[in-house]
Amino acid sequence: MNKTLVFGGSGQLGQCLQHVAQQRNFTSIVFLAEEQANILNQETLWATFEQHRPAYIINCAAYTAVDKAEDEVDLARKVNRDGAENLARLCGEFGTTMLHISTDFVFAGTGNEPLLESDETAPISVYGLTKLEGEQVIAQHTAQYFILRTSWLYSEYAGNFVKTMLRFGKEREEMRVIWDQLGTPTYAVDLAGALLHIIESGSTAYGLYHYSNEGVTSWYDFAVAIFELGGLPTRTVPIRTAEYPTKATRPAFSVMDKTKAKTALGLAIPHWRASLVACMRRLGE
């Protein structure tokens, strides 16, 4: 099997990829932590490509601290744009197919229709802007790429909304959670499975895709489901975004249409609640 390199292999999605690869006996894959292959170090990256000659790379490395990015603009841009560009250049040079993760935050979130890949982007945060810039530079340097925009990523690994709610649910009697931001939670294990499916299928349907779990919910309803499935008696109070000010502005509506991913890539996508049940089961093991 052709070799796959994973950059950012020790993060949440990287750990999910390790889990799914093991399940599927997908052995020709190398996970590289930041200290092994920093995507900003062009010399080290070239040596890594030269050593492994990968058929595929998956870029899980990203600056994802949405609020901190408003103050750390240069760092966010270096990782999300320049790092992606460094990888895309080498993919073009070595004939490697690049799989890259982007975000629903490239949209303004002012509409109420599920978002298509062709819809106009208008990021309202530094994080969203730098991720959009990453998409753009990849397309400039290689034609062999799959960019998957995802949303509200969680899993049993690393820090995320589900684990935070479970922790708070055990500590607090009441949680106030935003109800006027609508999107779709995505189980990172499902996303990892989609990435490996693209590689295993040998697809050449290159381009930009939307991938999240199916369905629509608010952060409030997501929290209610987490507490319910976790058997926690926490009282959940819905609040508006304005009642919980943050440094970065979030899209109010970022539900993405997955038709293209399902038809062109043959992906079967579970509903968000079914995937949350699976995650909670694994957290309880």
The residues assigned a catalytic role are 127
Cβ–Cβ contacts within 10 Å for residue 40, how many? 14
Integer Cα distance of 169 and 232 in angstroms: 6
